[in-house]
Amino acid sequence: MSDISVDWIEDYLNRYKRTIFNKSVYGDLLKTKELFENSNKFGDKVILAGNGGSAAIASHCSVDLTKNAGIKAINFNEVDLITCFANDYGYDQWISKALDFYSNDNDTVVLISSSGKSLNILKAAKRAKEKNLNLVTFSGFNSSNPLRKEGQINCWVNSKAYNIVEMTHHIWLLTIVDMIKGSAEYSA
């Protein structure tokens, strides 16, 4: 048996409260909403990418943006795409190459990395900027992480705990979906 108590649970959940309700990010969430809507208005899309848990967030949010918010969105989580591009171009370049093949002018790229140090994400940020795509980043851990310096909008979570950073990113992105939808409650 572990020594986990109700106090531990309360302290843990309060960490989420401190990160999710960070008012300094609210303006960035509103700006991100506008970028998503502008890309959609011009017939372009939102492209989301990440590694591991951040890739799962990219998948969930791209589906919800498309289905619930009416914003065309994609992610790069197809195993054949990842392994083909990683094999042919190197793992550090696979997302950059996917952007070369799938992005259009006025697309908005969302790159998600808890540490803000993943080389493939950083190279994708560079490629997005070279292509003059709209770029939004979601990162955590160190406030001076390299990804946080790359986007037009940079949403940073003040935590060094993976689950807290990832779930905060997830909640913030789904908040944007619901802002576009105009409601927090709607039927599937």
Tell me the pLDDT tens digit for each residue of 15-36: 999 999 999 999 999 999 999 9
pLDDT tens digits for range 35-81: 999 999 999 999 999 999 999 999 999 999 999 999 999 999 999 99
What residue segments make up the domains of the chain, in order of their start?
A: 22-181
* C-alpha dist (Å) from residue 174 to 14, 36, 57, 93: 20, 13, 10, 28
Distance CA 57, CA 48 (A): 9
| Alpha-carbon distance values, 104 to 1, 74, 97, 107, 109 (Å) | 54, 12, 13, 6, 10
Which pLDDT band, with edges at 50, 70 and 90, does 91 fall under? very high
CB atoms within 10 A of CB 29: 16
Q: Whole-prediction pTM value?
A: 0.96
The residue written with tokens 């979601």 in the block is 138
Domain 22-181 is in which class? alpha beta
**Structure tokens that stand for 81 in this block:** 């795409």
